[in-house]
Structure 1
Amino acid sequence: MSGMGGTGDGTSASNAPARRETRGAVELTAAMLLSGTIGVFVVESGASPFTVVFYRCVFGALFLGLYCLARGFFRNHGFTPKKLALAALGGVFIVFNWAFLFEAYGSTSISVATVVYHTQPFFVVLLGALFFRERITRQKAGWLLVAFLGLVLVAGVSASDLSGDGAYLVGLGYALLAALFYGLSTIITKRVTGVRPHLVALVQVLLGIPLLLPFTRLGESAHLGTGWAWLAGLGFLHTGVMYALMYSAYQKLPTAKIAVLAFVYPAAALLSDWAVYGHHVTWVQALGIPLIVAASLGTNLGRRPRLRRARPAVRPPASAASPGRRTAATPATAAARRATPAA
């Protein structure tokens, strides 16, 4: 009987990592599906973008504060003055990243703004080269070119956009600026080690409250009506629940699976924009989406954008095969591979 019990325990132990990874995949998928509905909540709230972000920070701070308190995260928090300052600096960029993305929704559409915003990993690469002096290899440059071509197609700029009031171009600029700010936040926040990400997020949304107050139209609050439910949803669901799911999933999943599942977010955003508002991308724009998707995956997973070359007749010994080697990742490289686009 003891032998049978030992076998059962061994089987259970061997299945534990697989179950853990499956649970992580479910959590991250749920988080990305939630993220894909952010645009609908923003538009339906009826508030201006900076007002939306202000109340997202208020409700998000309330949820994350209670969550961290219930989980005991405030004990042995790991913050030092330097780490707290870095978390706060990252918060400056993350809250303005939200504001510019929400501005882009109104000038373009949820679909176009989300896909353009999904160029975040490439800004992380460029910022890594700027701040960490990391060399941009031909592989990275190739993916940046692919992403740029995809961006040109997705933008779908026409002659009327150039001759009109320029609102559409401004919206594209807002989406790119949001992606840049997300990249800056990623580069900075990755330096905050030894602190639970929930606490880092809490610091950032708390900072967002006084930071955004001067830009917030508080007078709108009296006329929001049902918009309050949408704003509360952004805080509790898209900042509290979504972040809790994401951070839990990150601990269970390999980087490659995180990079792949991250594309549930733009897919869900396109679907919700079509289902609720009837917006859809054109055929030309649709051609650009897979280019951005492929380039983002290639950047995160370290794949090369080139055609397969003929293998030599005599293969070198396994010990000498350079493709099997991996160099140590710099902070910028690690940030580029692990950055998960989420509004």
Structure 2
Amino acid sequence: MSTAPSGQSQETKGAIELTLAMVLSGTLGVFVVESGTSPFNVVFFRCLFGTVALGLYCLARGFFKNHAFTPKKLGLAALGGVFIVFNWAFLFESYEGTSISVATVVYHTQPFYVMLLGALLFRDKLTVAKFAWLGVAFVGLILVAGVSVSDLTGGGDSDYLKGLGYALLAAVLYAASTVVTKRVTGVRPHLVALVQLVLGIFLLLPFTTLSETSGLGADWGWLVGLGVIHTCVMYVLMYSSYQKLPTPKIAVLAFVYPAVAMLADWAVYGHSISLLQALGIPLIVAASLGVNLGWSLRGKAAAAAAAPAPAPQPTTENKTANKTETETAAGGTR
């Protein structure tokens, strides 16, 4: 029998897995808001329940054997964890000042900060095309943010501006985690994520107000869901899909996340964006794809980006930082 159908079947399975992971990412904001507790509390319990669920999964799969961690790799994973944990806190904080829709789209400018940080810290090459796409993304960001002159001169909604600032800060922190974590090679991404979750428990404990949770009641289900569904299940689906998909498909399917987030925000809370804000979304999408897929100024994909991804190697499994959120979000996408 030919092995071609098997390869196609694996890619189809990977596409389904990543789509499901991005759909889960898109519903994360609803779980955060419905939990009814502060952002730092939310992140603390996401780390706590996520550690239990993902730890049990790793134990059942035997991932702790031959884990390949070295002191340096463990240190890099932990540093990435510091960035990813506070990235979650600021992203969740941004929901309150803006909306899930606006915060998610602004947050989705992460690839450009990854590009800039890579160039700044590791001298990654920046081409004219990448700078051009950065300009396109910046225009899109201005449109989506919906900030007026009165907002900047103090006559607008200060909470809205603060929310936008938190979303941008979250995106920068996610980018920092991406740049650091992708240097942790040869270690399963599940284990890297687990290290970051465990670190998050201790890191956020001083910022957590446990007394707020005394009256949560049934709302505990939202917090458990964030740890089990939006952390363990989402990561397992995401990391599994990365091994089966070429980079272009990963980049395209990552945009299921903001699309679902906007739909969920509208369906549950009735939040929608203006026509002017909507004009900025395709600019950010096009710019992100242009950077990730190596499109030229004329919008043609580079030959390298068009080539199929190589077969996954055991020593390069770690794609915690490959996103989108996603989102995809290492410890999280999102």
Q: Which residue of 2 aligns with 1:317?
A: none
Compare CA radii of gyration and give the structure with the larger one. Answer: 1
Structure 2 residue matching 1:134: 3-state secondary structure? coil
Q: CA deviation at 1:164?
A: 3.6
Q: Which residue of 2 aligns with 1:55?
A: 45
Q: Which residue of 2 aligns with 1:133?
A: 123
Q: Does 1:339 align with 2:323?
A: yes
Is 1:45–1:226's contact at 8 Å kept on the other side of the alignment? no
Q: Which residue of 1 aligns with 2:22?
A: 32
Q: Does 1:279 align with 2:271?
A: yes
Q: Which residue of 2 aligns with 1:5?
A: none
Partner amino acid for 1:249? Answer: S
For residues 141-198 of structure 1, the C-alpha deviation after alignment (integer angstroms, 9 at most, x for no partner) is: 0000000000000000135534145111111010000000000000011000110000
| TM-score normalised over the length of structure 1 | 0.88
Mapping of residues 183-222 of structure 1, within 5 Å: 183-222=175-214
Q: Does 1:143 align with 2:122?
A: no
Structure 2 unmatched ranges of 5 or more: 306-317, 328-333
* Inter-CA distance 324–203: structure 2 relative to 1 (3 Å threshold): closer
* Inter-CA distance 195–142: structure 2 relative to 1 (3 Å threshold): same
Distance in 1 separating the partners of 2:299 and 2:4:
39
Is 1:120–1:180's contact at 8 Å kept on the other side of the alignment? yes
Out of 218, 231, 256, the residue aligned to residue 248 of structure 2 is: 256
* Inter-CA distance 325–23: structure 2 relative to 1 (3 Å threshold): closer
* Inter-CA distance 325–182: structure 2 relative to 1 (3 Å threshold): closer
Is 2:254–2:323's contact at 8 Å kept on the other side of the alignment? no
* Inter-CA distance 324–152: structure 2 relative to 1 (3 Å threshold): closer
How large is the Cα RMSD of the aligned pairs? 1.8
Partner amino acid for 1:157? Answer: V
Distance in 1 separating the partners of 2:323 and 2:118:
12
Partner amino acid for 1:202? Answer: L
Structure 1 unmatched ranges of 5 or more: 1-9, 309-322, 327-333
Structure 2 residue matching 1:222: 3-state secondary structure? helix
Q: Which residue of 2 aligns with 1:113?
A: 103
Distance in 1 separating the partners of 2:304 and 2:258:
33
Q: Which residue of 2 aligns with 1:157?
A: 147
Is 1:259–1:338's contact at 8 Å kept on the other side of the alignment? no
Structure 2 residue matching 1:226: 3-state secondary structure? helix
Q: Which residue of 1 aligns with 2:312?
A: none
Q: Does 1:97 align with 2:81?
A: no
Mapping of residues 68-107 of structure 1, within 5 Å: 68-107=58-97
Distance in 1 separating the partners of 2:166 and 2:70:
34
Distance in 2 separating the partners of 1:159 and 1:62:
48
Q: CA deviation at 1:134?
A: 2.2
| TM-score normalised over the length of structure 2 | 0.90
Q: CA deviation at 1:282?
A: 0.3
Distance in 1 separating the partners of 2:298 and 2:54:
44
Q: CA deviation at 1:224?
A: 1.3
